[in-house]
């Protein structure tokens, strides 16, 4: 799998493992994103293995990380997040906490110019 470069971001998968949820197998990747100064690590779980587009895997991973960033950024607070996405409180709090941590890591990597580029690239993704 080749490295993906988008603006000043460099994205690659460092490690993967196969996970099974009973009926399907997926891949869980450790994704490294670098802006040339800082390296940050994220977890990305693919769709069902039989449907993975290997050419787009890193692009898909970056899209998911970026979408998580946007969801957290647009959420006013935990209560609104839970209401918006229909979570039970305990599960919603867990997901919201993970989004917050991911947001903080990704936010260290991106500047306004990079966010603008991501918005254009993933506009109709």
Query: How would residue 50 be classed by pLDDT, with cut points 50, 70 and 90?
Result: confident
Number of domains in the chain: 1
pLDDT (tens digit, 9 = 90+) per residue, 23-37?
899 999 999 999 999
The 10s digit of each residue's pLDDT in 75-117 is: 999 999 999 999 999 999 999 999 999 999 999 999 999 999 9
3-state secondary structure at position 105: helix
- Looking at the DSSP assignment, which residues form a beta bridge with residue 16? 29
Residue 100 buriedness (CB in 10 A; 0-12 / 13-18 / 19+): middle
What range defines the domain where residue 102 resides?
A: 4-121
- Round to whole Å and give the CA distance between 54 and 49: 10
DSSP state of 51: G
Q: What is the pTM of this model?
A: 0.92
**Any idea what the Cα angle at residue 123 is, between residues 28 and 8, rounded to 5°?**
65
| pLDDT of 38 higher than 80 | yes
Q: How many residues does the chain have?
A: 125
Q: Is the pLDDT of residue 43 over 80?
A: yes
């Amino acid at each position: 799998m080749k490295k993906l470069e988008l603006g000043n971001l460099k994205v690659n998968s460092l490690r993967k493992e196969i996970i099974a949820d009973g009926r399907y197998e997926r891949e869980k990747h450790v994704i490294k994103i670098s802006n040339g100064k800082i390296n940050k690590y994220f977890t990305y779980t693919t769709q069902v293995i039989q449907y993975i587009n290997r050419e787009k895997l890193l692009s898909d991973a970056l899209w998911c990380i970026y979408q998580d960033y946007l969801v957290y950024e647009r959420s006013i607070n935990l209560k609104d997040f839970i209401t918006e996405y229909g979570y039970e409180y305990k599960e919603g709090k867990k997901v919201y906490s993970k989004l917050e941590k991911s947001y903080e890591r990704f936010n260290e990597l991106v500047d306004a110019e990079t966010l603008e580029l991501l918005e254009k690239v993933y506009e109709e993704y």
